[in-house]
Structure 1
């Protein structure tokens, strides 16, 4: 019985690593500065920031339109155009799936347009684990434009090695916020497909 459990754990770990390890190298080139601020076998925290020459209102408008910047490789459908955020408490950061299906990436728990967006939910392969996660994005006007500071905190029960996964999750989220930064800087060309 223990051998079967260990084999199942190893398979789940390898499936999750298949999703995130190849992207760890991408973190080095992501324009959004980010880092793992703490980690243990029961959770981790990631923080990052980016600055763009736009108003807080423009930054908010882009943030809540993930179809314009979220990497479609990190969506359940493989299509960035299928992603949306309903920016109000109880709203969904969701994706539509073929055949009429859908997936919730996160649930909005706080929304102050042009100031802050907070969502709850474990992303990607972490979704199937016994984890709680919260992402907060704070928007502040600066003399050079607008700064978006974000955190992603994950904790709870899983058999996955969270302390070892944290850098890869950081790489993926850094890449996502790097795409948002490029979009805000006018480098985006339309839907993220």
Structure 2
């Protein structure tokens, strides 16, 4: 599994302005944080986050190869899902919805799910003078026999790609209110 993750990261180029940081690593998990500044308001950014996920999520980070299969059901107990015909994945469950400032999801993204790892993923949208700062924080915990020193930076990189996809999408769209 580790080799696959490292290969995915090595094959993926970063072309985004998201700031990434592994904030904490322990024997039982890690905390990562990524940030991006976008010119749109929190309200417009929120709409893109929720309703346009299939337009900004990296398609190569999907189970079925097409970003357009992603959806976010923005309600408590809702689903961050990927559905392609009979193939279906609940990537995460929606726990907190506070438009336009906080969306919290829980679960394990990608290979973390099959590894039995669990986390809380917060999308925080903060109004700034120039638009919105989006902060993506993922707190992952569980038991990984290989530890988290190699895994945390890989997940951080992938989270940066995902947040960068949203940032690039919002930067290319007109900043409408």
TM-score of the superposed pair, with normalisation by structure 1: 0.83
Give per-residue Cα distances to partners, 1:54-112, cap 9 Å, x unaligned.
Answer: 011110011113101111111111100100000111110000134x1210111000001
Question: Which residue number corresponds to residue 93 of structure 1?
Answer: 80
In the alignment, structure 2 segments of 5+ residues that lack a partner are none
Q: How does 1:71-150 map to 2 (within 5 A)?
A: 71-98=58-85, 100-150=86-136
Count of aligned pairs: 172
Q: How does 1:1-193 map to 2 (within 5 A)?
A: 15-23=1-9, 26=12, 29-64=15-50, 65-98=52-85, 100-186=86-172
Q: Cα 1:120–1:36, aligned 2, differ >3 Å: closer, same or farther? A: same
Q: Cα 1:68–1:28, aligned 2, differ >3 Å: closer, same or farther? A: closer
CA contact (8 A) 2:33 2:136 kept: yes
CA drift at 1:40: 2.2
Give, in whole Å, the separation in 1 of the partners of 2:170 and 2:122.
19
CA contact (8 A) 2:23 2:33 kept: yes
* Runs of 4+ that moved beyond 2 A: 19-22, 24-30, 158-161
Which has more radius of gyration? 1
CA drift at 1:24: 5.2
CA drift at 1:49: 1.1
In the alignment, structure 1 segments of 5+ residues that lack a partner are 1-14, 188-193
CA RMSD of superposed structures (Å): 1.7
Q: Cα 1:25–1:42, aligned 2, differ >3 Å: closer, same or farther? A: farther
